[in-house]
Amino acid sequence: MKRWLPAGAAAAVLAAVVFAGFSGGGNDLDGLGQVDNSSLTVPATTQPGVVIGTGNAIVKTNLSQPLNRGMSGIEVTAMQQRLHDLGFDPGPVDGMFGGGTEQALWAFEGLIGNARYDQQAGILSNELWQRMQDDLLFQPRRQSPPGNTHVEVYLDLQVLIVFKDNKPVLITHISSGELDENGEPKLWCELVTYDTDQNGVALEEPVTRDECAYAKTPGGVFRFNRKYDGKRLGPLGGMYNPVYFNYGIAVHGAENVPNKPASHGCIRIPNWVADYFPSLVELGDYIFVWNGKKEPEDITEEESLPSFNFRNPDSTYTTTSSTSPTTTTKPVTTTTKPATTTTKPATTTTRPATTTTLAP
């Protein structure tokens, strides 16, 4: 069985229980990423996400003015370098406060102050700069055995972290499934052109359909199961270098990664991060998704299912394809699962984010 414990658990218990879980047999459902949550230990508590290390004190500087998008100069360069050192990826350290720097700052605000995405301003005040200069350590909510990699996604913060040996090697802003005015997955209906089916299997030719679904990014415990190079047109929309973990839901690059949930259900990351993200994770690595309401292990199998596309009942559009796709149209409430697919590993270029190893 695969068991995960709070990071604050005794080291001996952690090593014995978690390592035994990783070396055991698989519990994936249909090989599509879901993990049988009944075999996982639900932690009662988790350690603080951010702590200040006890290493040597550094001489801090002060900002001459708050920094925001559109500004440039040596203070912007210092902020970008510090974000890189902590594991974030604002893009080039070039002294230009652009969209990449803003996105990295959103993620920093979310983690350092547990600020929801709608509370993240993307402005570096002098007070926030003082905190950024601290000897910060970003800790995982779940500990993995030595040598292992796992991913944690916090939907309320719109942040994703890749942990290797329980140290962050990448921290990035994300955009997950769009929400309606009640905070529930938003219903969308539109013409969808895709070249893969619901399981990510390539179709013989692209298909265009008038379809609907709910923009649901489920919480839960999953495993990465498929990777693809380049751009893909899936049932949930266009993707760059997607790494799938829950049927058609993947972590993938996108041009538009705003400071709010805006996708059809996938987890968008900036394209330059997606260039190397697939190289940071292996098929079979765990991905924990917090929905802001429950612990991932508390989420049932049914709750962890995505919203499968279904035909727009008001549509008069005729599907444009001479070859029938292999997907099965499903209503939103169904729990029927698509067939298992063949994995095609991607060849990617590794460009991991620079991190600082801090004393405990």
Kindly indicate the confidence band of residue 349, based on its pLDDT and cuts at 50, 70 and 90.
Answer: very low
The model's pLDDT over 26-76, given as tens digits with 9 standing for 90+, comes to 334 444 666 655 555 556 556 778 888 776 667 899 999 999 999 999 999
This prediction's pTM = 0.78
Output the pLDDT for position 36. 59
Lowest mean pLDDT segment, chosen from 3-12, 85-94, 110-119, 263-272: 3-12
Please, are residues 304 and 187 in contact by the beta-carbon 8 Å criterion?
Answer: no
CA–chain centroid gap for 178, Å, is 15
The model's pLDDT over 180-217, given as tens digits with 9 standing for 90+, comes to 999 999 999 988 887 877 676 788 888 888 999 999 99
Does 339 have pLDDT greater than 50?
Answer: no
Mean pLDDT of 168-179: 97
CA dihedral 290, 292, 295, 300 (to 10 degrees): -80
Residues whose CB falls within 8 Å of the CB of residue 216, separated by 6 or more in sequence, listed in order: 177, 185, 265, 306, 307
User: Longest Cα pair distance anywhere in the chain, in angstroms?
Assistant: 68
Q: What are residue 240's phi and psi, to 5 degrees?
A: -120, 125
